[in-house]
Amino acid sequence: MTHKDSLSARLPTPWGDFMIHALEADDGKEHVALTFGDWNSKQPVLARIHSECLTGDALFSLRCDCGFQLKAAMQKIAEEGAGVLLYLRQEGRGIGLTNKIRAYSLQDQGMDTVQANEHLGFGADERDFKVASDALDQLGIQKIRLMTNNPRKVSSMIDAGIDVVERVSLKYGHNPHNEVYLSTKQSKLGHLF
């Protein structure tokens, strides 16, 4: 993964000024890192690894908790005074936008998230978090306090040599439209709420 220094800029947000950095990974996708404040490389950095969710992040869908988690993570980083949010281009748990919409259609017919992905010939979660560990390494971050409900992210970071000193829960966005989705994340994917 390469950090495109010439593609860094100030990103004003409702929570303060972040810096946005374009990252180009071996997977051919353009990912971004949002950094806030300064950190000591020897201290754990508050971090969020967020996979792209067009419907939740940009279109305000209530089918998931993604947009709520994104906003909460940015707010927590700003309140802390320093941290990083990695925004990874892994739409629909890595199956892409078109297949995600196909999965939504299957969910409308009664399948849960995992069943829909598997019906389409995918695994329950196709994301690869190596790109995240590469980005953290590139930013000089070896110790993190990871904002996630997903134990797989924690394991992936540890396996990649990132020291996860704490898992910080992100329980936001529960509503009647995503009850089955969240229940499936907990019962079939092991998410911790």
Does residue 52 have a known ligand-binding role?
yes
Does residue 41 have a known ligand-binding role?
no
Q: How far is CA 190 from the centre of its chain?
A: 16
Does residue 93 have a known ligand-binding role?
yes
Does residue 53 have a known ligand-binding role?
yes
Quick check: is 125 catalytic? yes
Does residue 50 have a known ligand-binding role?
yes
Does residue 100 have a known ligand-binding role?
no
Does residue 30 have a known ligand-binding role?
no
Query: What's the rounded Cα separation, in Å, for the pair 20 and 86?
Result: 10
Given the residues 125, 128, 145, 159, the one annotated as active site: 125
Does residue 133 have a known ligand-binding role?
no
Given the residues 57, 65, 112, 127, the one annotated as active site: 127
Interacting residues of 54 by C-beta distance below 8 A, sequence separation 6+: 91, 97
Tokens (6 digits) for 102: 């196909």
Tokens (6 digits) for 120: 């389409």
Go through 147-180 and write b for each residue having 16 or more CB atoms within 10 A of its CB, e for each that does not.
bbbbeebbebbeeeebebeebeebebbeeeebee
Quick check: is 89 catalytic? no
**Which residues does the annotation place in the binding site for GTP?**
48-52, 69, 91-93, 113, 148, 153
The binding site comprises 48-53, 64, 66, 69, 91-93, 113, 148, 153
Indicate the annotated binding residues for Zn(2+). 53, 64, 66
What residues are labeled active site?
125, 127
